[in-house]
Chains A and B, each alone.
Chain A
Amino acid sequence: MNGFQPRGDGGGELSALDLEEQVLDVFVQALRIRHGYDFSGYARASLKRRVRQLASDLEVARIGDLIPRLLYEPALCDTIIEHLSVPVSDLFRDPWVFASLREKVMPVLASWPRINVWQAGCAYGEEVFSLAIMLFECGLARRSQIYATDINDHALEKAAEGIFGVERLADFESNYRAAGGTAALSDYYHARYALLRMRRELGERVTFAHHNLVTDGVFAEAHMILCRNVLIYFSQPLKDRVVKLFADSLVHGGFLVLGDKETLQFSRYADCFSPVDEQARIYRLRRRAHA
């Protein structure tokens, strides 16, 4: 039987695709030069999908048509950054991860007199409030400080408000129980009309701040860093940079928590960390990163 032969056509579409790749490079350069956001280290396929979606939402035909708009409409910058970041989470998303944090990490955190937690890429704050609740239930809230950072200013504002749609409550509740919550989730929010407002006390130990993992440096001396489902959007060199940044930011023995499908196995700095719970992607800094 013959081997299968692919067709040789598709020429017009192929050159359109090559041109689009070049235009995407120009778009990324323009965004960096005009607004200082550098997306050149982002994983390409998914960045391209999001830029195409941006073009479609702004009702322009091609990626290239976005370039004059990003140059001459300064107000558009926020919209662009919002489109290019992927803020999707839930309270206690992946509850088994939070259960593991409660069991394996909180007792160690309790041994430090002061606890700095950095959540890098906090989006709309779901995980910040999950952390705040867990620290409270473990009796650690009073000596904890959570730094929650993101590049998406709009998301940061929303996160600081701590308001979520009531339609998400059923998921939040079941996550909270599966994560080993010791009270009732309703202790931590007020429900008004279709909205849940997280209790103000939870936000007292949280500082929200703009920070860009691509360009900014060490943010704080942290005992634990959560950065879940952020590295998947970065190419390997940028992943390496950020993992090194985390290694530089953690105290010795500090914890790093990644998304459940994010792995250190391809990282240059993998040997700086030892696994605490491989399944939940919880790691511990065992030595400093080399330069």
Chain B
Amino acid sequence: MRRARCAALAIGGSAGSLPVIRGLIAALPCEMSLAVVVCMHTSAHVIDDLCAVLGDTATVSVVEAIDGAAVEPGRVYIAPGGYHLLVERKARFALCAGQRINHVRPAIDVLFETMAEAYRGRLAGILLSGRNHDGAIGLTRIRALGGHVRVQDPETAEAPEMPRAALALAAPDGQNSPDELQKFVRALAWIGPISDA
């Protein structure tokens, strides 16, 4: 029996998450059937630099998520600063310039919730280091709709508040170190045959 693979991976991070995200993206194979969408708390106008920093150790292409563009497998998309990033049911990006949520824009909760509803059980979510509680509700939503969620072990996080808030709200499928998370995303992106073990 073969079960459906994950079609997409959502990653959220804030303070202290940049090196971890860089490692996760570097761990991805150059060919994969997975679309990866990253929401970091950043200010506006740094998006080009951010894509460059995250892309220079990667074999996959790392690009800005553009309003109206299709979410395509094999690429890593980064949320631009100053807007919330959403994914529509038909797997297209949409931006929203509305109020900050959890004091931030882009908010991880917005991306996670809309991706959870678009991909349902075919989504994995990872929440990383950060200093507030953004992402906890979104991660819960991913799990409630049948997706798979991982949280960075707070012990390994430069800012443990965000992973802790998520752990307090939802029981994840795993609580991992950055090294373990790299193994996880490699397995997730693996395009060879899958066994049912």
Whole-angstrom distance between the Cβ of B175 and the nearest chain A Cβ: 16
| Stretch from B16-24, B63-71, B131-139, B151-159 that touches the partner | B63-71
- Which residue on A lies nearest to B88, using beta carbons? A45
- Which residue on B lies nearest to A262, using beta carbons? B67
Contacts of B4 in A (CB 8 A): 6
Q: Within residues 255 to 291 of chain A, which ones have a CB less than 8 A from any CB in chain B?
A: 259, 261-263, 265-266
In contact, A3 and B97 (Cβ under 8 angstroms): no
Whole-angstrom distance between the Cβ of A239 and the nearest chain B Cβ: 7
* Interface size bracket, B side: 35 or more
Q: Which residue of B143, B145, B194 has the most chain A CB atoms within 10 A of its CB atom? A: B145
- Which residue on B lies nearest to A228, using beta carbons? B97
| Stretch from A9-17, A102-110, A168-176 that touches the partner | A9-17
- Which residue on A lies nearest to B33, using beta carbons? A3
Interface of A is mostly: loop
Instruction: Indicate whether B146 reaches chain A with its CB closer than 8 angstroms.
Output: yes
In contact, A6 and B110 (Cβ under 8 angstroms): no
- Which residue on A lies nearest to B114, using beta carbons? A45
Instruction: Indicate whether B121 reaches chain A with its CB closer than 8 angstroms.
Output: yes
Interface string of A37-51 (1 = CB under 8 A from B): 000000111100110
* Interface size bracket, A side: 20 to 34
In contact, B97 and A86 (Cβ under 8 angstroms): yes
| Cα distance, A86 to B100, chains bound together (Å) | 12
| Cα distance, A266 to B197, chains bound together (Å) | 43
Contacts of B146 in A (CB 8 A): 6-11, 13-14
Contacts of A86 in B (CB 8 A): 96-98
Question: Which of B5, B84, B98, B120 makes the CB contact (< 8 A) with A4?
Answer: B5
Question: Which of A4, A6, A88, A232 makes the CB contact (< 8 A) with B187?
Answer: A4
Contacts of B186 in A (CB 8 A): 1
Contacts of B190 in A (CB 8 A): 1, 3-4
Interface string of B108-123 (1 = CB under 8 A from A): 0010011001101111
Whole-angstrom distance between the Cβ of B34 and the nearest chain A Cβ: 10
Q: Which residue of A43, A50, A233, A262 has the most chain B CB atoms within 10 A of its CB atom? A: A43
In contact, A236 and B86 (Cβ under 8 angstroms): no
In contact, B187 and A2 (Cβ under 8 angstroms): yes
Indicate whether A3 sits within 8 Å of B147 (C-beta atoms), given known contacts A8-B3, A45-B94.
no
Contacts of A261 in B (CB 8 A): 66-67, 80, 82-83, 95
| Cα distance, A6 to B190, chains bound together (Å) | 14
Q: Which residue of B83, B84, B96 has the most chain A CB atoms within 10 A of its CB atom? A: B96
In contact, B99 and A88 (Cβ under 8 angstroms): yes
Contacts of B98 in A (CB 8 A): 46, 50, 86, 88
Instruction: Indicate whether A111 reaches chain B with its CB closer than 8 angstroms.
Output: no
- Which residue on A lies nearest to B143, using beta carbons? A10
Indicate whether A5 sits within 8 Å of B3 (C-beta atoms), given known contacts A10-B145, A14-B146.
yes
| Cα distance, A3 to B196, chains bound together (Å) | 9
Instruction: Indicate whether A29 reaches chain B with its CB closer than 8 angstroms.
Output: no
Instruction: Indicate whether B87 reaches chain A with its CB closer than 8 angstroms.
Output: yes
In contact, A1 and B187 (Cβ under 8 angstroms): yes
Contacts of A88 in B (CB 8 A): 97-99
Instruction: Indicate whether A212 reaches chain B with its CB closer than 8 angstroms.
Output: no
In contact, A263 and B124 (Cβ under 8 angstroms): no
In the complex, the 5 A-B pairs of residues with the closest C-beta atoms, listed nearest first: A10-B146, A3-B194, A45-B86, A229-B97, A4-B188
List A residues at the B interface (Cβ < 8 Å): 1-11, 13-14, 17, 43-46, 49-50, 86, 88, 229, 231-233, 236, 239, 259, 261-263, 265-266
| Apart from A17-B117, A45-B118: 7 A-B pairs, beta carbons within 8 A | A3-B5, A3-B190, A3-B194, A5-B196, A7-B146, A13-B145, A46-B84
Chain A to chain B contacts (Cβ below 8 Å), 28 pairs = A1-B183, A1-B187, A1-B190, A2-B187, A3-B5, A3-B187, A4-B5, A4-B124, A4-B187, A6-B6, A6-B122, A6-B124, A8-B3, A8-B121, A10-B120, A14-B146, A43-B86, A45-B87, A45-B88, A46-B94, A46-B98, A49-B114, A86-B98, A232-B83, A232-B94, A239-B68, A259-B97, A261-B83
